[in-house]
Structure 1
Amino acid sequence: MGRPRTPLLDRERITATALRLVDETGDFSVPRIARKLGVQTGSVYHHVDGRDGIVELLREHISAAIDPGTLDATPWDAAVEAWARSYRAAFAAHPRVIPLLMTSPVRAPRVLAQYERAVGVLLAAGFAPAGIMPLLIALENLVLGSALDLAAPETMWELTVGAPTPRLAQALAAVGDGRADRAFDVGLTAFLEHARRLRTGG
């Protein structure tokens, strides 16, 4: 029997299958990926470095949707804001992947290169090196938390007659549509204002 013209297994197929499993169930396993692809589990290990390797493939795949051109914007705060919004949109498309990525060290070269550029933007803007990673981590927490919030029900508070909450009810009625987007705007505005004060020593 001749070899198939299209390989049965490669890193792209493994990544796509793992992503579908995570989108559907919130997790993946190498044996489940193998079953979905109709191959032996050992064959998957020939292409990836186990579960951790697949997590990094997922990180790189999703991060590829972040527009790298955002970090070319000027001034620096426009670049950071545009990057944050693109970052959020990329991860909001696959929110169930976020818990897997938040508990695993970043190793993917493409992702590390984006952080390298972001650090360069902040250094060029005059930020002290010691303050840059706390800023980036805080921004990442805001972005990924908001991406998860986008996947949540529009109404996250279910009011009951057993626990009267008239002020909460009033606030919920007033918020209108787009709760998650409006909350992200509040957080990002506060983050950028804080960063500007840090930069100027205020």
Structure 2
Amino acid sequence: MGRPRRPLLDRERITTTALQLIDEQGDFSVPRIARRLGAQTGSVYHRVDGRDGIVELLRERVASAIDVTTLDLRPWDTALEAWARSCRAAFAARPRTIPLLMTSPVRAPRVLEQYERAVALLRDAGFGADEVMPLLVALENPVLGSALDLAAPESMGELAQDTPTPLLAEALAAVGEGRADRAFEVGLTGFLDHARAMRAARA
């Protein structure tokens, strides 16, 4: 028999299978990936650095959808806003990966390079080294939270008749469509206004 045109296992197929399992079950394991691919668990370990290595492959796959050229825009706040929107869209496409990715340190080289560009953007804009990471984390929080929110039901609550909450009922009825998008705009605008004020204070 001739050799197969592509190997049974490679990092791309392992990553795709892990994503399928996350979409279906909310998590993955190396043995489940192996079973799905019809391979031995040891064969998967031979190609990736265990579960942590697969998490980093997932991180790179999700991050590959982020438009890093947004970080080349100027002025700095335009770049940061465009990058945030691109990040939100990338994570919103894979919301069930967020808990996995956010509970482990970043090791993926391509993702670290993207953060390096974001740090350079803020340093070039005049922010101090001690201000950069709080700003980036503060930006990530509404981005990732909103990406999860986009996958949530449009209504934030189911009101019980035996619990009188008339003001909440009025607010829920008045919000209309696009609640998640509107909430994201509030958070992003607040972040950018605060970052601009921080920069102005250093001037």
Whether the TM-score (by the shorter chain) exceeds 0.5 is yes
Pairing 1:108–2:108 present: yes
Q: Distance in 2 between matches of 1:66 and 1:35?
A: 31
Once the two structures are TM-superposed, the CA of residue 151 in structure 1 deviates from its matched residue by 0.7
Amino acid at match of 1:43: S
Partner of 2:146: 146
Q: What value does the CA root-mean-square deviation take over the aligned residues?
A: 0.9
Amino acid at match of 2:60: E
State the 4+ residue runs in structure 1 displaced beyond 3 angstroms. Answer: none
Q: Distance in 2 between matches of 1:29 and 1:15?
A: 12
| Pairing of 1:15-164 with structure 2 (within 5 A) | 15-164=15-164
Q: Distance in 1 between matches of 2:29 and 2:161?
A: 44
Q: What is the TM-score with the length of structure 2 in the denominator? A: 0.98
Partner of 1:188: 188
Once the two structures are TM-superposed, the CA of residue 2 in structure 1 deviates from its matched residue by 3.3
Q: What is the TM-score with the length of structure 1 in the denominator? A: 0.98
Partner of 1:175: 175
Once the two structures are TM-superposed, the CA of residue 194 in structure 1 deviates from its matched residue by 0.3
Q: Distance in 1 between matches of 2:46 and 2:110?
A: 22
Q: Distance in 1 between matches of 2:48 and 2:174?
A: 50
Once the two structures are TM-superposed, the CA of residue 69 in structure 1 deviates from its matched residue by 1.0
Q: Distance in 2 between matches of 1:135 and 1:158?
A: 35
SS in structure 1 at match of 2:127: coil
SS in structure 2 at match of 1:167: helix
Amino acid at match of 1:36: R
Once the two structures are TM-superposed, the CA of residue 162 in structure 1 deviates from its matched residue by 0.5
Q: Distance in 1 between matches of 2:156 and 2:182?
A: 15
SS in structure 1 at match of 2:79: helix
Partner of 1:12: 12
The CA deviation string for residues 157-191 of structure 1, in whole angstroms up to 9 with x for no partner, is: 11111011111111111110000000000000000
Q: Distance in 2 between matches of 1:83 and 1:174?
A: 31
Once the two structures are TM-superposed, the CA of residue 141 in structure 1 deviates from its matched residue by 1.2
SS in structure 2 at match of 1:152: coil
Once the two structures are TM-superposed, the CA of residue 3 in structure 1 deviates from its matched residue by 2.2
